[in-house]
Structure 1
Amino acid sequence: MHSSKIPAILSLVLLLVPLLSHGSAQTPSEVESVPADDIRDLKLRDWQPSSMMKTKVTRVQLPKAPVIDVHNHLGGGAATLTSERVAKYLREMDAAGVRTVVNLDGGWDTKLRETLAALDTAHPGRFLTFTLLNFNGFDQPGWSERETERLRQSFEAGAKGLKFHKSLGLSYRDEEGNLLGIDDARLDPIWQLCGEMERPVMIHTSDPAAFFTPLDRYNERWHELNDHPGWLFHGEKFPSRDELLEQRNRVIAKHPATTFIGAHFGNNPEDLEAVGRWLDTYPNFYVDIDARISELGRQPYSSRRFLIKYQDRIMFGTDTTPDAEAYRLYYRFLETDDEYFDTAESHHRQGFWMIYGIFLPDPVLEKIYRTNASQLLGLD
C-alpha cells in the first residue's frame, strides 16, 4: 500500500470506530448509570394513566324516574339467595332509586322455584326472574320436546322471560365437535313458545368487537383480555362475530311474534348504524344498555341522537350486582353533560378511554328508565 494513503485510512478508522461501537456492550460505568427501575422498561400491563383533566363532576344520587334494571345477575337457588343477601340487594336498590331488578339466573326446576320464592314471591314488584334452558344432551333425540315442555312449566311457575348466554353459538358442541348455531331448527319450538306465552327473550349473542380480533398491539381491549383470556374468540375455532349476529337476526326475522332483547346494546355498540338498521328491520327487537356505556359514552353525539331516535326500543340495564354507586355512574352518563369521566366502577374496566354524558331529555329518560320495560314485562 502506498505510504501516503496510510494517514488517510487511519483517520477514517478513527472516525468509524465510535459509530461502529454504538449499541455494543456498555462499559461498567455506563451500565451503572442506568437505574434498575428505568421507566422506559415499563410493561404495558402495568401502565395505569391518570388523567390530568379538571372537569365538572355532577353527583346524581337518584334518577329522574324510577328505574327498572332489565339485565342483572343475582344468583339462583335458596342456598345463594339468603335473606341477608336479598336484603342487601334491596338496600342498594332503594338507595339508588331502583324499583325493579330482572334476575337472569333463575335456572330451571327446583332452582327456579327456589329463586322465585326468594325474590319474586317474597318481594312482589321488586324482582322479576328469567329462566334458562338445560343444553345437556341437546344433540340427543327428544331434547327439543323435553326443553320446550320444561320451559312451559317454568313460565307457568312464574318466570317472566328466557335468557340465553353467549354460549349459544360459541360453546355448545355435539359429539362430533359441531357448534349448536343460534338459528338451529331444534330451537324453533322454544322461540315459538316464548311468543305464544308472551315472554321476552333476553339474548346475549357475540361479544365486543375487540374480542374477535387478534390479541396484539392493535387490540383496544388488550388489558381486559389479558385478565380474561377465555374471552378471546379469535381464530378458526370460533365463528366470526358477523356470522353470530346474522344467526341471531335470522331467528328474530323468522319469529316475528316473539320479542327479543339484544343484551349489551345488541352487542354492537361500536356500530350504531348497524344497530339502527336492525331496529328498523325487526319491530320485535329491543336493546338494553347494560355494560356498554363505555362504548356509548365515547361517541356521545351519535349516542345521544340514537337514544332519542329509538327511545321506544331501548331499556336500562347494568349487568352489575346492585350497587348504588354503580347505578349512579349510569345516571351521570344518561342525565348530565359531564365530560371525560371514568366508568370502571359501573361494571369493570373495559378500556382506558373516558366517556361523556349525553344529557337526555326527561321524556326520553322516563322511557329508557322505566316505561319501555314496564310495558314489555307487563308491569303496568
Structure 2
Amino acid sequence: MATTACIKCHTLPSFDDSNSKVVFGFEVVELCKKFRNYLDENRIDYLKEDSLTVILKSVCLVDFLSTLLSKSIFKKHEREAICILSLNENEDFHYSKIRDVKSLEKYKNLISASELSNLLTKGGLTAHFQPILDIENNTIYGYETLARGVNDDGTLVYPDKLFKWAKDGDMLFYLDRACRESSLKTAAIKNIRAKVFINFIPTAIYDPNHCLQSTVKWANSLEFDPKNVIFEVVESENVEDIEHLKNILNFYKSKGFMIALDDVGSGYSSLNMIVQLHPDIVKIDREIIKDIDKNKANQSVFGAIVKIAKDNNIIVLAEGIETKEEFLYLKENGASLAQGYYFAKPSSEPIRKINF
C-alpha cells in the first residue's frame, strides 16, 4: 500500500564540516604507522596517544578525509579497521561517545553522500541527448537522455562518478528520481517533441505508486504526450524481485508511458525478461552489436532476439553502433531503430537531423 509521506523522499543527507578534534583508532599497529607516515609526509601536526591512537587537534573533517581518501592509501578492509571519533575542539573523550564512532569506510560513504547531496540541493543536474534513428525513413525517432552533473565552475560530472557517489552513500533513490525529473525538464526546455527515453533503476524504487508520483507530475505539468515518454529499465540483470519490476512497469503503462528494456543480450536471463515483461522496445546490448557484420555468434544471438521481439510485437533498437558495416547488417536483419556514435554522440543541444 502506498504511503502518504516518506522521510526518504524529502530528506537529503547532511554532513557537519566544521572544524573539530578528531580521534583515530587503529585495530593494528601497522595501520597506525601507515597513517602517521602520511601525516609526517604532509607536515600535519598530531598527538600520538599510544601505538593505536592518533589525535588531530583541529581539522575540517570533510576536507581532511576527502584528501586522505583521494590518495588511496588504505584498502577497503583497512578502512573498515580504522575508527574515527569527531569531537568539539575543546571536548574531552567520554565513553558515552562510543556510539558516535564510525569507520573510515563509513565516512567514505558519508562523504560520497554529501557530495551528491550538495549537487542535488543546488539543482546541479542536467541532461545530454543522443538521437535515435528510425531506420525505415531516416528520421529522428527520439532521444536517450543521459544525466550530467554540473559543478559551480561549469565543469561536468559524468554518470560513473554520480552513480559511484550514490552507491557509496546509499542515495540511488535520490539520484534516480532527480535524473528522471531533470531529463523531463531539460527536454522541455530544449523543446523536444520527439520521443524521450529516460533511464531508471528499478531497485531504487520502493513503491511505484508513491515513489514515481513526482515523475508523473512533471511529465503532466510539462505537457508531454505520455506516448512520447519511454522509461528505460537499466540494470535489469540485478533485479531479483521480478514481480516488483512488473509492478513498476505496469504503473508506467497505466499512465500511458512506453517501456524499453536496456542491454538485452548481455546475459541469459535478459532473453527471458523480454517474454516476462513484454516491453514496447528492446535495446540490444553493444556487446552483441560490436562487429556483428562479421561475428557469427553475435549474429545468432541478434537473430534470436529479433524473432522473439517480432513474435511479440516489440520494436528492436540496436544501440552502440559505431561503423557503417554494423549499421547495414542491422538494417537488413531486423532492427527498426538505431543509436550510436556512428550517428552522433550525446550532446547538450539535441541534434535535429542526422546526416551520415
Pair member with larger Rg: 1
Q: TM-score, normalised by structure 2?
A: 0.40
Higher strand share: 2
Greater RCO structure (CA 8 Å; 6+ sep): 1
Q: TM-score, normalised by structure 1?
A: 0.38
